[in-house]
Amino acid sequence: MIDVLFIGLSLGSILLLVALGLAITYGAMGVINMAHGEIVMAGAYVAVLSGIWLKTSFYVALPLAFLAAAALGWIIERLVVSRLYGRLLDTLLATWGVSMLIQQAIRLEFGLTFLGIHIDGLGTGLQNVAVPAELQGAVNIAGVELNAYRGFIVLVTVVLTALTWFIMYRTSLGMKVRAIIRSPKMAAACGIDVRKVNALTFAYGSGLAGVAGVMMSGFKGVSPDLGSSMVVDGFMVVVTGGLGSLVGTIMASGLLGETNALVAVATNDILARAVVFAAVILVIVLKPEGLFSFKRR
């Protein structure tokens, strides 16, 4: 049973990395970023390409993926999202279009196939990322065999969650983000540069998604549609935990991850997904504002 719970914890950890950025940007900016899954995929491809081109280790891919995904997120916010604030449906459709462009660009190797140029590691085929030898196999903790790589995922998530908490509650930037979550107009009236804070917040959330992509690359093959389902899972965590609530996001990711693992072991993966969706629907019906939330949706 402990190993099953540990699997659920590792799944919840990846969900948390994906959802943290969504929780902050959705709560602060009112933006439904449908391209978030493709940013996860971009982080996974950074792990692939850094190994092929730079010959770097899996560990080096983590900060590289964070920086690359953050840069991609910043570009999306500046070119698209910043022009659509206050228009929820428009941002949803625009970012969905961006997600399609990114996904198809990877399939077409950024369009360079039309010029006869091939980039190793891209294209429609699956790519694999080698997990370091020390993270393969299991470790014995108090007589229980636990997967080393899943333990690494949990450790990285704990560190990044603690960093996010520190930024949100112990820095001036975090204070500004929380003020914007409460009331963007009042925050602007108090002299906060809402546009700048939004851009930095969007970039940081995208960076976390990039790290989640690297974590995912150790589980499954990297392909252009790797992140398609991740954005759905991320928003399930957000609506369950509550808008802009760090505690709610942490609790919801753990709850959904453990539920998925326990039901999957008892039955199968398909029923597990159905149970998770049912749990999210139940929360939306009974507590529309989420388990922990500053404001109602």
| Within-domain flag for 119 | no
- Comparing CA positions, the residue from 27, 31, 16, 50 lying closest to residue 127 is 50
Looking at the structure of the chain, the number of domains it has is 1
Instruction: Give the CA radius of gyration of the chain.
Output: 19
**C-alpha 216: how far from chain center:** 10
Query: Bridge-partner residues for 141, per DSSP?
Result: 144
In a domain, 125, yes or no: no
191-213 burial: b if 16+ Cβ within 10 Å, else e? ebebeebbbbbbbbbbbbbbbbb
The pLDDT tens digits for 91-103 are 989 999 999 999 9
CA-based nearest residue to 235, from 56, 40, 77: 40
**Model confidence pLDDT, tens digit, residues 58-68:** 999 999 999 99
Give the range of the structural domain holding residue 10, as residue numbers without chain letter.
2-111+130-227
Whether 294 has a pLDDT exceeding 80, the answer reads no
Q: What's residue 295's pLDDT?
A: 52
Q: Are 277 and 55 in contact, with CB atoms under 8 Å apart?
A: no
Could you report how far apart the first and last alpha carbons of the chain are, in Å? 37
The verdict on residue 169 lying in a domain is yes
Binning pLDDT at 50, 70 and 90, where does residue 142 land? Answer: low
Residue 48 domain-assigned (yes or no) = yes
Residue 95 to residue 31: CA distance in whole angstroms: 9
Structure tokens given for 181? 């979550």
- What is d(CA 156, CA 243) in angstroms, rounded to the nearest whole number? 24
Pairing, β 144-147 against β 138-141: antiparallel
pTM: 0.90
Name the average pLDDT for the chain: 87
Inside any domain, residue 29: yes
> Is 90 exceeded by the pLDDT of residue 39?
yes
Name the residue with tokens 């760090």.
246
- Separation of alpha carbons 297 and 280, rounded Å: 15
| 112 pLDDT more than 70 | yes
**Residue (of 133, 147, 161, 120) closest to 24 by Cα position:** 161
Structure tokens at 243: 């808008």
Kindly state whether residue 197 falls inside one of the protein's structural domains.
Answer: yes
Q: 256 lies in a domain?
A: no
With cut-offs at 50, 70 and 90, classify the pLDDT of residue 230: confident
pLDDT reading at 181 higher than 70: yes
Question: What is the torsion angle, in degrees rounded to the nearest 10, for the CA atoms of residue 247, residue 248, residue 250 and residue 251?
Answer: 110
Any domain includes 104: yes
Confidence of residue 244 (pLDDT cuts 50, 70, 90): low
The answer, yes or no, to whether residue 174 has pLDDT greater than 80, is yes
CA distance 145 to 71: 39
Mean pLDDT value of segment 96-121: 87
